[in-house]
Chains A and B, each alone.
Chain A
């Protein structure tokens, strides 16, 4: 998928995260600010890259402000931001690119 325009999804409430995406310059640019970075920083990065790969996104600036979100929430917020950026709200690939 192509990141066409900047988009965000999520909140900075406890157990949530705020994901921002914008068009990249040829690669995945990842930045993270997390209240649990010491314990889960690498895991969050892993989930982010896996999610982007499933979505076929390889050219994006993605930044995550995390307040202790579980992996399932991080995935959901990334997908939320990416599909907003693509303006796609119907016929989503549940169980396919989204899983």
Chain B
């Protein structure tokens, strides 16, 4: 199956969870400007409202204009009798991406993909237009991260779900990040190896914004692409940390100009600010400029 969605690698610094059962949340969450909105049919929705949440989601996504925010839907787990109808609903209403909870193997992704493709055909949507992402919520899922990342061409990336994962690990969320260290490191390496994105778990203590900032800085340094969030209050902090600094942008500009310029002249030695640089800087510099552009802080001509 070939992915035909051109937005597969779009910017996803902030992915905000929203309970699909709450009309007040569905109305206009895009004003807060999260990169992705994650409409939840799973944990946030009470067992007694699983059916009605789908109708709310369907009409919200087909009626309201979410103004460029990515529309991700977290479906119910493959261990329920809900996920197949969830997929029909989600594909029919034109969501961009499906988040698969509790993913443990490539086979689970393939099972979802099969249903997605069937739904795309049923509802007359281009086959390959619906993207997938996998939430890893167990030790087994984390161990199988690479094969999960490689399981489908539709796969945009993997997200850590820290609450369940730490339970499986026989520990808890401590606020220090120690318990998440291994999973984070492993996932980001696997995701990069597979060429997909990697997203971090939520930070639930809204009273500890300093702790949240520290957490975001940590995962940014580790190489993550973004973070799942639970409250609009967290968006600005994530975006600020994920936005390249002025210094980084200027350096990236110099790197790109230098390498483009020298290459054109057939020269293979590059220097920026008097120091030799390697060609390996090039892709990183391009990424920095792309991120700066997407964050609205770059107005140059690169």
Contacts and interface: CB of A to CB of B under 8 A. Distances in A.
B63 interface: yes
Contact of A92 (B62, B64, B89): B89
A91 B63 CA distance: 22
Interface residues of B, number: 23
A16 B62 CA distance: 18
Contacts of B93: 94
Contacts of B63: 70-72
B59 interface: yes
A90 B58 CA distance: 15
Nearest to A95: B92
Given A89-B51, A90-B85, A75 B24 contact: no
Interface string B49-71: 00110111011101110000000
Chain A contact residues (Cβ within 8 angstroms of B): what range? Answer: 20 to 34
Contact of A84 (B51, B62, B123): B51
B23 A15 contact: yes
A94 B24 contact: no
A15 B85 CA distance: 26
Interface string B19-41: 00011101100000000000000
Given A15-B27, A16-B24, A77-B52, A72 B123 contact: no
Contacts of B60: 72-73, 76
B49 to A, nearest CB: 9
24 contacts: A9-B52, A10-B52, A13-B23, A15-B23, A15-B24, A15-B27, A16-B22, A16-B23, A70-B27, A70-B64, A72-B60, A73-B23, A75-B59, A76-B52, A76-B59, A77-B52, A77-B56, A80-B51, A83-B55, A89-B51, A90-B85, A94-B58, A94-B93, A95-B123
Interface of B: 22-24, 26-27, 51-52, 54-56, 58-60, 62-64, 84-85, 88-89, 92-93, 123
Interface of A: 9-10, 13-16, 69-73, 75-77, 79-80, 83-84, 89-92, 94-95, 98-99
